[in-house]
Amino acid sequence: MALKRRLTDWRNRLVSSAFIFRHNRAGVIGLVIVLFFISMAIFAPFIAPFNPYERIDRSLLPPGGVYLLGTNDMGQDIFSELIWGARVSLSIGFTVALVVMFIGTTVGVVAGYTGGLVDEVLMRFADIILVLPSIPLMILIAAIMGRHNFYVMILALSVVGWGGLARMVRAVTLSLKERTFVEAARALGASGGHIMAKHILPNTAPLILSSVIYQAVGAMMAEAGLAFLGLGDPTAKSWGMMLHYAQTAGGWWGANGNPMWNWIIPPGLCIALVVLGLMLVGQAVEEIVNPRLRRRR
């Protein structure tokens, strides 16, 4: 019975949220862009005309003809690379966003609710992460792990990403823990863990949901930079990685000394479009979560 009521409650909320979202034209455009790239990632094997890891023709061919965007220095089809790149870039972006959400929320709630020394230590770490420039830190982590693969990228990007969210969640937790419903739970003898998980966490959910999209944006941007510097996984080429090869392996001189726009422009454009789409969706979600923004428009 209680479950049924909760389900209808959730459904109603979803419907009204969707209603608000639909009236935000920019948000809808953003969603369309993001969905376009997500389907590109999912159906990559069916869309891409060639295997992006296979030499199929002479290297550094100009665009046009069979190879829509020409070939790279290894004689691989750039258009196919671009389509498969969506998989790598998006999956790293979303995975890191989830990991960061998990770490940031846990640290934020625990620090805010427990207070004292735990709070002090955790926040000092968050400050260090926030203050230090992220790229050197990520390169260092990648260098120590010794390999460049998907998981090392996730680790490096997550380690530098959780500070801001943790601070935000902590601030909300600090105000939540003074509310009467938390006090009531404590008076009934609920343990700290129970209060954090059942009373505080659900109330931070809206904030976390809207920030997770921006986390994905940050992660994708950071991944692009890191991969551009050559620290990506060569067996899973992301768009940043493509730019790295374009920069170092022939994009600037091509087959006859001319730069290859067909190699340099498309990967960056894809990153920009996905990020733009996500930011538009993020703004729309923020409006749903924070009604104040709605009225101020």
Evaluated on CA atoms 232, 238, 242, 244, the torsion sign reads negative
Binding flags for other proteins, 271-290, as an x/- string (CB under 8 A): xxx-xx--xx----------
Interface positions, 129-168, toward other proteins (CB under 8 A): 130-136, 139-140, 143-144
Q: How many residues bind other proteins (CB under 8 A)?
A: 38
Residue 252 — φ and ψ, nearest 5°?
-90, -20
Tokens 């009521």 sit on residue: 5
Judged by CB, which is closer to other proteins: 30, or 104?
Answer: 30
CB of 125 to other proteins, least distance (A): 8
Q: How many CA atoms lie within 13 A of 281 on its CB side?
A: 22
219 binds other proteins (CB under 8 A): no
Region near other proteins per CB under 8 A, out of 8-16, 43-51, 55-63, 125-133: 125-133
3-state secondary structure of 14: helix
CA dist., res. 83 & res. 161, Å (int): 27
Does position 236 bind other proteins by CB under 8 A?
A: no
Q: At what angle do helices 78-114 and 150-176 cross, to 10 degrees?
A: 30
127 counts as binding other proteins under rule CB under 8 A: yes
When the beta carbons of 64 and 136 are compared against other proteins, the nearer one is 136
Which of 245, 246, 272 lies closest to 259, judged by CA?
246
Q: Is 297 exposed, middle or buried (0-12, 13-18, 19+ CB in 10 A)?
A: exposed
221 is an interface residue for other proteins by CB under 8 A: yes
Count, residues in the chain: 297
Nearer to other proteins, 118 or 132 (CB): 132
Q: Which stretch binds other proteins (CB under 8 A): 47-55, 61-69, 80-88, 263-271?
A: 263-271
DSSP letter for each residue of 138-195: HHHHHHHH---SHHHHHHHHHHHHHHHHHHHHHHHHHHHTTSHHHHHHHHTT--HHHI
Q: Which of 90, 224, 236, 288 binds other proteins (CB under 8 A)?
A: 224
By beta-carbon proximity to other proteins, the closer residue of 207 and 231 is: 231
**Smaller CB distance to other proteins: residue 81 or 199?**
81
Which residues here bind other proteins, judged by CB under 8 A? 124, 127-128, 130-136, 139-140, 143-144, 221, 224-225, 228-229, 240, 243, 246-247, 252, 258-259, 261, 264-265, 267-268, 271-273, 275-276, 279-280
